[in-house]
């Protein structure tokens, strides 16, 4: 991963890619990725439903070494897009990826995600995954199917990131979540924020939740699916807020006020 490219995409590039990504989601994913490295969690990244690559490019830039990046989308098979949730464009997706990263680790699966097994997904990624985003079909059946596929393909310490779980426009997503978790699963929810719901294996849930506390010191824990989850709100720091942290600006402010007092 090239640090300059990563920083450029995080701060500027993401805004040039069509899609839906609320402020706080990139910051949360970056923090969790750093924590995964500390926990020695390895593996590729994947996303079901990449659209034009807005989030996928971020996941791609978080890869290191020989970690693969798998993009799963209907793309040209929009006749299978039963709920009309997005319309992936393969040519534009590749164009955006070339612009902000490269194609060296890219693996594309064009087709229906519900026809993929966990084993199929791991074969595409040459092993289990560290980060998997789910933003494909928004019906209950598709959501439950994608959760099953991703849970089975998750590395130890891996994280599943589900989009639109609490989006009132897509009630099928949370319906699918409740259907899937109607029986005990290996993964549990640990955080909710920025239109993302985060799941991982139970042993790391508390540590990952604590990591996201950095985004919102006042974040409260609530219960979801019978588990304690961190519900955070991300508030980007204002320009004044950033300057308030800089010693040089404090010096300038002091000089400026001293000058005014002499006028």
Pairing of strands 129-134, 44-48: parallel
More confident position, 16 or 142: 142
Residue 93 confidence (pLDDT): 95
List pLDDT tens digits, range 164-188: 999 999 999 999 999 999 999 999 9
* Per-domain boundaries in the chain: 3-232, 237-263
CATH topology of domain 3-232: Rossmann fold (3.40.50)
Q: Is the pLDDT of residue 106 over 80?
A: yes
Instruction: Return the CA Rg of the chain.
Output: 20
Res 34: pLDDT: 95
- Amino acid 248: pLDDT: 45
Phi, psi of 76 (to 5 degrees): -75, -10
- Per-residue pLDDT, 252: 38
The rounded mean pLDDT for the chain is: 88
pLDDT of residue 235: 80
β-pairing verdict for 220-224 and 187-193: unpaired
Of the candidates 147, 139, 121, the one whose C-alpha atom is nearest the C-alpha of residue 43 is 121
Three-class SS state of 131: strand
pLDDT of residue 11: 87
């Amino acid at each position: 991963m090239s640090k300059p490219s990563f920083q450029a995409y995080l701060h500027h590039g993401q805004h040039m890619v069509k899609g839906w990504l609320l402020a706080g989601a990139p910051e949360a994913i970056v923090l969790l990725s750093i924590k995964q490295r500390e926990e020695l969690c390895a593996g590729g990244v994947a996303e079901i439903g990449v659209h034009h690559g807005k989030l996928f490019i971020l996941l791609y830039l978080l890869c290191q070494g020989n970690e693969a990046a798998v993009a799963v989308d209907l793309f040209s098979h929009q006749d299978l897009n039963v709920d009309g949730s997005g319309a992936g464009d393969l040519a534009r997706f590749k164009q955006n990826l070339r612009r902000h990263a490269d194609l060296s680790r890219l693996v594309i699966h064009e087709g229906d995600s519900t026809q993929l097994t966990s084993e199929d997904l791991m074969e595409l990624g040459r092993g289990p995954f560290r980060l998997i985003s789910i933003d494909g079909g928004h019906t209950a059946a598709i959501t439950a199917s994608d959760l099953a596929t991703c849970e089975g393909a998750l590395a130890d310490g891996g994280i599943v990131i589900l989009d639109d779980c609490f989006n009132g426009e897509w009630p099928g997503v949370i319906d699918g979540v409740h259907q899937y978790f109607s029986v005990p699963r290996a993964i549990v929810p640990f955080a909710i924020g920025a239109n993302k719901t985060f799941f991982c294996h139970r042993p790391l849930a508390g540590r990952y939740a604590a990591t996201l506390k950095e985004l919102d010191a006042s974040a409260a824990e609530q219960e979801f699916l019978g588990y304690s989850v961190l519900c955070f709100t991300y508030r980007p720091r204002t320009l004044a807020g950033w300057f308030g942290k800089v010693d040089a600006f404090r010096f300038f402010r002091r000089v400026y006020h001293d000058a005014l007092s002499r006028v």
